[in-house]
Structure 1
Amino acid sequence: MGGERRAARVGDGVGVSLDSAAVQAAGRVSGAAAAAGAEAAARPPGRRLVTEYVILETPRVLAQIVEDEFGRRYYVVNGPVFDGAVRLVYDRLMSVILGRLDLLRRFSELDELDDGIEAVLRLGRRLGRGLRRRVERMGARFEEVLVSAAYYVARDLVGYGVLDPLLRDPRIEDISCNGLFSPVFVYHSEFEWLTTEIQFSSREELEKVVMKLALRAGVEPSLARPVVEGVLRPEGYRVHIVLDVVSRRGHGFTIRKFRAEPFTVVELLRRRTLEPGIAALLWAALQYKQGVVIYGPTGSGKTTLLNALAMLLPPEYKVVTIEDTPEIYLPFHENWAALHTRLSDAPGVQNVTLQAQVESALRMRPDVIIVGEIRSREAFAFFQALATGHGGLTTVHAESAEVLIRRLSSPPMNVPKSLIAAAKLYVNILRIERGGRVLRRVVRLDEAAEYDPRSDEIILRRLYGWSRERDEWTSFGVAGSSFVRSVADLLATSPEAVVRDLEMRATVLSWAAERNLGVMELHELVRRYMRSPEKVYREVLAGGARQYKFPEAVRR
């Protein structure tokens, strides 16, 4: 790469080294054939199958989670058999496509794997009887062999080669390669970090993969810029690439995925990430333009919770989202401006930072500003927006409320504590290991009760707390909260009326979770509640909903 970099051909095969006797015995094969063999390899003996599920139906590709005798777990892709007949057809198809510029261009323009498979099948059936006879002389059925070969050809030309099943699996959140002779690791939504059987055994093999990722992301890693990041198109996944000039183990990359259909509050309630009363408070806070800050450590689910809450915003609101890399998705908000940053070293190209985009958003007359994560000077602009009456939602990396306030008020954010108090609710979400399982829980919900100018301190009052022993939440009295009084003043109503509305919202959300409403159904329910809350509340009660009531305040 860098100055000696050559152009990668679309569809260059990607070789892997597998801990599998089947591939070891195959001898010296092409990189593409070795990659295909990785998927077709049988599970090594001595490994117990934990679970398996389908990634692709036709042809059938399975993801298997297996465990060895030491308790280590692995992620194994089980695809179509890549035997001699399939390899014969694969090599013939690749030879034809790579030998014709028009075909190569046509395949390079395809985005969907299914479209690629169909195109390869059509090509294979046009290649004539000679190929069919050769396959049948090997004792194989031509159509079955062609389907398997078409999958591997499309995977290498249209998809991401050996990485394609990992990118296609909705339960994989991150894919990480640390260099040569090191397994590729995946972060699984249920099993966390798992070792795959993919391992790059030469610089050339790894470089082909890195080049393909760079091309798809529209970035150019080089000796001058050995660390780059971008967004894979059309999937929108974030990729971070590091070249071997600054990585001792060789080229490396990390792919950060997100779900095509984001988590909703319904799913988070069903997973017990939070409880209906907390969800109702956050829903009301966003509707009434009270600032909300979500904080927690890396991997705790901050962005997931942020997106789920954002989908509860009134559909009529003008929403502006600001991110480094686009992850937030609001499918039903037409009046949504999705801004992101642009950083460039090129002369004459303007850098567009988060701070600049937050300041730009203020000129768009937004109802709510959502910043994916605040880390630097954009924090001041965000809290200033809250102080001037805009609704706001953001995340901050912090392990506790004390650390959060300290980070916000210290360099490089430098937000005065008097301004930090402009956010009304602070949500702490953590990744919890409990009973051998990994959970995400909102462990604490605080309100900014007041700011004391004499001591320059923000007084936080806890509204909800989570118990690790019981895996339950305790309410510390919502009725008398500063948040309820603030909303009551805003609506010119009584605190009792606000509490009743919160209980109605919690009842409606609890009912939605019990019915496991989909994205569209939840959107319609939220829209109807905004227009006729009493009517929707009565409907869900008639439909069997259990009435939610805030418990009496308990001693903290």
Structure 2
Amino acid sequence: MVDDKKLRRVSVLDTYGFESNGIPVEIKVVKRDDFNPFYEVMIPGIAEYTRIILETTLRAELISEVKVDISEMLDPKKGDEVRKKFFDGALSILDKNFPNLTEDKKRILASYLLQNALGLGEIETLLSDDRLEEVVINNSREPIWVYHKKYGWCKTNLTLKDEEAIFDYSSLIARKVGRQINVLTPLLDAHLPSGDRVNSTLFPVSNFGNTLTIRKFSRNPWTITTLIKNKTMSPEIGALIWMCVQNELSLLIAGGTGSGKTSFLNALAGLIPSSQRIISIEDTRELTLPTFLHWVPMVTREPNAEGKGEVSMLDLMVNALRMRPDRIIVGEVRKQREAEILFEAMHTGHSVYASLHADNTEQAISRLTNPPINIPKEMLDALAGIVVTFRHRRFNIRRVLEFGEIHKNGDFRILHRWDVKTDEMKQVAGLSRLADLLSLYAGMSEKEIKDDVDKKTEVLNWMVANDYTEVDQVGRIISQYYISEDEIYDAVSKGEKWRF
């Protein structure tokens, strides 16, 4: 008989490293005898015994020695000052307990100590990995799970010691944002100062134990070239959307949870001319636009414990119309009054870009025209088109599923659709209403529209070939294109690199 254990294989899928608040971290992603990949976190140079001492004895000593008022701890403006006090205190404690340490090693251990005293401990390490989208704790008996951009859901080698530890982290987050989580209010939805979104639940609401779910805020937001490079959409679709944005046509981004709606909205916003004023409205700051744009980001605010001080999406939308915007970006439309203001803004000459939860164009129209949103179908003609984003969980990919135009009676017509078998976008119809709008507002003939799309496609392919994917890089090239189209196209036709 052959021992089954001998047949088990471990294949290394990936290895890479990064720094987490000054702490070197090594990651190994392996495929083991399990249904999910295994995400292994290693901190070289910190032995197990040292780690235990840091997390217990020295952590308690640091907290007792550094005198900081609780109001300072909760004040985000004093965050750097508080961290410095604790970091200096950690260095002093390490000098006393480990006098022979090198300066570099001491600073690494001080950072680790600080991470466990002020932050979320080992969770902080996961939040520093740009390749992760979600960090999930289901209970203290299971390992922490992460959602990797390339490998999907992975189990990690990290666990929390008990349910109390999960509760402590949830309470820490809640206190920092002026909220609370306890037996009477066992649900928490909040945001870290970094922009990461946090949800927490307590037992027995979550039957298996306390939970913590952190959706990471993208430090490297996607641009239109990123979307093309990772095959989320084709250059031709990118060029068509670029033409719509340039000519101030309003668009809606629809898609399911985690399909990349906000990422697409961010990429689309980078195509707006620098000469125009942009107001963005979100529940959480997720958009990152080029630094030189005329942009005012606004976010909603939850009511306080007494139920006062709320600033809703509707409040911000009404206020935005008084701020002389050229373009309005809305994170997500959920309610009837929000949608009414949104479409009213379109009908009064504002270009509006927003997202909506819907799995396809037909469903997006249905959601807009039925309760709870319930917009009259005749109002939908203010929209030029709908882009549908899609996340294929089995293949772990995101794609633009459909791009459709909206007709005067509120009906839609699909122009491009993704073919799952070939993994390609296919044109299923020619421009009709979009061509009419471009003819009306830009004076473009059908040939001029085609030539413009072809030209923009060339520019996008050139940008992708030169790896111009950063927000400011893409924004500067797009803005320069609006000022001097020939200058950009000359560089494209000669295959030259752009000087930023």
TM-score of the aligned structures, taking structure 2 as reference length: 0.87
Partner of 1:183 in structure 2?
Answer: 143
* Residue type at the aligned position of 1:217: V
Alignment of 1:53-72 (within 5 A): 53-56=16-19, 59-72=23-36
* Residue type at the aligned position of 1:514: A
Q: 1:66 to 1:383 in 2, by over 3 A?
A: same
Partner of 1:273 in structure 2?
Answer: 232
**What's the CA shift for 1:47?**
4.2
Give yes or no for contact 1:320–1:338 (8 Å, CA) kept in 2: yes
Q: 1:294 to 1:91 in 2, by over 3 A?
A: closer
**What's the CA shift for 1:90?**
6.6
Offset from partner CA, 1:300-343 (integer Å, 9 cap, x none): 11111111111111112111111112211213254222222223
Give yes or no for contact 1:181–1:199 (8 Å, CA) kept in 2: yes
Rounded to whole Å, the distance in 2 between the matches of 1:278 and 1:492 is 21
**What's the CA shift for 1:245?**
4.9
Offset from partner CA, 1:433-460 (integer Å, 9 cap, x none): 57xx422111211111331xxxxxx332
Equivalent of residue 506 in structure 1, options 432, 440, 457: 457
Rounded to whole Å, the distance in 1 between the matches of 2:73 and 2:299 is 30
Rounded to whole Å, the distance in 2 between the matches of 1:317 and 1:347 is 40
Rounded to whole Å, the distance in 2 between the matches of 1:506 and 1:461 is 23
Q: 1:413 to 1:179 in 2, by over 3 A?
A: same
Give yes or no for contact 2:73–2:82 (8 Å, CA) kept in 1: no
Give yes or no for contact 1:107–1:157 (8 Å, CA) kept in 2: no
Partner of 2:432 in structure 1?
Answer: 481
Partner of 1:21 in structure 2?
Answer: none
Give yes or no for contact 1:266–1:509 (8 Å, CA) kept in 2: yes
Rounded to whole Å, the distance in 2 between the matches of 1:145 and 1:317 is 50
Give yes or no for contact 1:121–1:146 (8 Å, CA) kept in 2: no
2:393 is equivalent to residue 424 of structure 1: no
Offset from partner CA, 1:156-201 (integer Å, 9 cap, x none): 1243202111111111111122234233221111111112233334
* Residue type at the aligned position of 1:369: I
Q: 1:328 to 1:145 in 2, by over 3 A?
A: closer
Partner of 1:520 in structure 2?
Answer: 472
Rounded to whole Å, the distance in 2 between the matches of 1:345 and 1:114 is 27
Rounded to whole Å, the distance in 2 between the matches of 1:145 and 1:90 is 17
2:438 is equivalent to residue 471 of structure 1: no
Partner SS state of residue 416, structure 2: strand
2:92 is equivalent to residue 123 of structure 1: yes
Rounded to whole Å, the distance in 2 between the matches of 1:305 and 1:506 is 18
Equivalent of residue 297 in structure 1, options 256, 279, 282: 256
Rounded to whole Å, the distance in 1 between the matches of 2:464 and 2:262 is 20
2:62 is equivalent to residue 97 of structure 1: yes
**What's the CA shift for 1:107?**
9.0
Alignment of 1:265-414 (within 5 A): 265-344=224-303, 346-347=305-306, 349-377=308-336, 378-414=338-374
* Residue type at the aligned position of 2:398: R
Q: 1:85 to 1:261 in 2, by over 3 A?
A: closer
Partner SS state of residue 325, structure 1: coil
Q: 1:534 to 1:221 in 2, by over 3 A?
A: same
Q: 1:111 to 1:185 in 2, by over 3 A?
A: farther
* Residue type at the aligned position of 2:442: L
**What's the CA shift for 1:497?**
2.5
Partner of 2:3 in structure 1?
Answer: none
Q: 1:85 to 1:232 in 2, by over 3 A?
A: closer
Rounded to whole Å, the distance in 2 between the matches of 1:423 and 1:326 is 25
2:42 is equivalent to residue 82 of structure 1: no
Partner SS state of residue 169, structure 1: coil
Partner SS state of residue 408, structure 2: strand
Partner SS state of residue 102, structure 1: coil
Q: 1:483 to 1:241 in 2, by over 3 A?
A: same
Give yes or no for contact 2:91–2:110 (8 Å, CA) kept in 1: no
Partner SS state of residue 329, structure 2: strand
Partner SS state of residue 450, structure 2: helix
Offset from partner CA, 1:18-53 (integer Å, 9 cap, x none): xxxxxxxxxxxxxxxxxxxxxxxxxxx964432121
The structure with the largest alpha-carbon Rg is 1
**What's the CA shift for 1:244?**
2.4
Rounded to whole Å, the distance in 2 between the matches of 1:225 and 1:212 is 15
Q: 1:89 to 1:219 in 2, by over 3 A?
A: closer
Give yes or no for contact 1:289–1:389 (8 Å, CA) kept in 2: no
Partner of 1:49 in structure 2?
Answer: 12
Rounded to whole Å, the distance in 2 between the matches of 1:115 and 1:260 is 24
Partner SS state of residue 411, structure 2: strand
Q: 1:363 to 1:184 in 2, by over 3 A?
A: same
Partner SS state of residue 247, structure 1: coil
Offset from partner CA, 1:238-269 (integer Å, 9 cap, x none): 11122225322232221111211211111111
* Residue type at the aligned position of 2:272: L
**What's the CA shift for 1:274?**
0.8
- Which structure 2 residue ranges, 5 or more long, are not aligned? 1-7
- Which structure 1 residue ranges, 5 or more long, are not aligned? 1-44, 134-140, 452-457, 546-556
**What's the CA shift for 1:353?**
2.0
**What's the CA shift for 1:350?**
4.1
TM-score of the aligned structures, taking structure 1 as reference length: 0.79
* Residue type at the aligned position of 2:423: D
Partner of 1:255 in structure 2?
Answer: 214
Q: 1:220 to 1:535 in 2, by over 3 A?
A: same
Partner SS state of residue 199, structure 1: coil
Bigger shift: residues 303-312 or 528-537: 528-537
Rounded to whole Å, the distance in 1 between the matches of 2:486 and 2:382 is 31
Bigger shift: residues 163-172 or 216-225: 216-225
Partner SS state of residue 183, structure 1: coil
Rounded to whole Å, the distance in 2 between the matches of 1:497 and 1:115 is 60
What fraction of aligned residue pairs are identical, expressed as a percent?
28
Partner of 1:224 in structure 2?
Answer: 184
Rounded to whole Å, the distance in 2 between the matches of 1:245 and 1:70 is 29
* Residue type at the aligned position of 1:198: L
